[in-house]
Copies of this chain bind each other. A is one copy, B any other.
Amino acid sequence: MKVQSSKEFKLQREVEYGTPEQNKAVKEIVAAIKKEGDTALLRYTERFDGALLEPGQLRVTPEELQAAYSKVEESFVLAIRAAAANIRAFHARQKRNSWMDMQPDGTILGQIIRPLKRVGVYVPGGKAAYPSSVLMNVIPAQIAGVPEIVMVTPPSTGGTEGIDPYILVAAAEAGVNEMYRVGGAQAIAALAFGTESIAPVDKICGPGNIYVALAKREVYGVVDIDSIAGPSEIVVLADDTAIPSYVAADLLSQAEHDEMASAILVTPSQSLADAVAAEVELQLQLLPRQAIARASVENYGAIIVVESMEEGISVVNRLAPEHLEIVTLDPMSLVGSIENAGAIFLGAYSSEPVGDYFAGPNHIIPTNGTARFSSPVDVDDFIKKSSLIYYSKEALLRDGKTIIELARREGLEGHARAIEIRLENEEKGGDGNGEQ
């Protein structure tokens, strides 16, 4: 792992927008689902997932769910329940109430907060099917009060009728109401436009391959989507009190995700930098996913030696990492100076995987420097707000002329007259109908 100064270091960031062919394929799939519904959905499911299904077989049955429970270890169910309880407790703190502000003149202004009605969660197939991500996408929606939470996942991952039983159990424990064995761009289009078998949703979230990502972009506006996640990132900001083997292990826990994942140590301590570099090499050799982790470390990893903690903090704020670990004896004292980081882990025991799986905060966190302006997934992502305006007659008579002046200034005479016609009529004593 390269040890370098902050001047030498330059972060490489890449965002996938897909090839023209991939974009064309996705547009065709989305259009076909919109036009043909189930017919196209089943056709693509056979073509891409090799599963020949009847419409009636798209939805996962209660019996299949029961079967899934019998296939997983009880310790897994208990672990998922413990994690889900922590995630619920944390996200429950984010819930907000509608409010109203009632004024003496009878005017009422307010903000109504409601859950989305129906949300679709995409779960990738194969090795990328992570039960923990099911919890992290579903539980915030459930806490927000979303009554209908739908999961789609491709039927090509072995296990229960083509779906990984661990995914089914995690979804059931998280509170998914409906599960369908469909995946890819066709599943995203089905959620957006609806088919005979799958009712349309208001928002689609969850990770997926490039086709899924392009399909989400394609249907955005018809439904809401979550942000497209980039490769995982971790930055560890540590001084010489950090334990090199812990730091190295945490860097590698992100590096093993993806060749494009980025694991970076920022430290004023040359000795820590050298020790971590050695530890990374040592631990890499024992890692099953060594090839992936090594590629990540070599292409996107770095150990940056800075002049001071202050410089280290400014490097962190420039990187705006998805995950930040601060490993010093008094890490809390540095939090106030961290402007940009999706999730901040403090001290020697807050290893990043603690947050990935268990502590409670969401593990879906802005990547690629977008922590500058965006936030981890939370309850706010599954609500909508409506403004409420109940203006009293007294208030309108008081403020009407000001409103008319502002409207005329903008050349919107129709706006001015909507107020004026009321003022004139009420000065004539009104015709009674207006009285509230």
Instruction: Find residues 342-379 in chain A having any chain B CB closer than 8 Å to their own CB.
Output: 342-362, 365, 368, 370-376, 378
The reply to whether B243 and A406 contact each other, CB–CB distance below 8 Å, is no
Bound CA span A202–B360, Å: 28
Is A405 in contact with chain B by the CB < 8 A criterion? yes
Instruction: Find residues 318-355 in chain A having any chain B CB closer than 8 Å to their own CB.
Output: 329, 331-332, 335, 338-355
Copies in the complex: 2
The reply to whether A347 and B289 contact each other, CB–CB distance below 8 Å, is no
Given the complex, which residues of B lie within 8 Å of A332, measured CB to CB?
Answer: 108, 390
CB distance from A364 to the nearest CB of B (A): 11
Is A203 in contact with chain B by the CB < 8 A criterion? yes
Given the complex, which residues of B lie within 8 Å of A12, measured CB to CB?
Answer: none
A433 contacts which of B242, B256, B359, B360 (Cβ < 8 Å)?
A: B242
The reply to whether A421 and B249 contact each other, CB–CB distance below 8 Å, is yes
The reply to whether A359 and B391 contact each other, CB–CB distance below 8 Å, is yes
Q: Is the interface of A mostly helix, strand, loop or mixed?
A: mixed
The reply to whether B341 and A386 contact each other, CB–CB distance below 8 Å, is yes
Given the complex, which residues of B lie within 8 Å of A389, measured CB to CB?
Answer: 343-346, 350, 354-355, 359, 361
From A130, A370, A393, A433, name the one whose CB has the most chain B CB atoms within 10 angstroms: A433
Is A281 in contact with chain B by the CB < 8 A criterion? no
The reply to whether A433 and B396 contact each other, CB–CB distance below 8 Å, is no
Given the complex, which residues of B lie within 8 Å of A80, measured CB to CB?
Answer: 406
Given the complex, which residues of B lie within 8 Å of A3, measured CB to CB?
Answer: none
CB distance from A291 to the nearest CB of B (A): 12
Is A387 in contact with chain B by the CB < 8 A criterion? yes
Given the complex, which residues of B lie within 8 Å of A345, measured CB to CB?
Answer: 389-391
Given the complex, which residues of B lie within 8 Å of A370, measured CB to CB?
Answer: 221, 224
Interface string of A387-399 (1 = CB under 8 A from B): 1111111011001
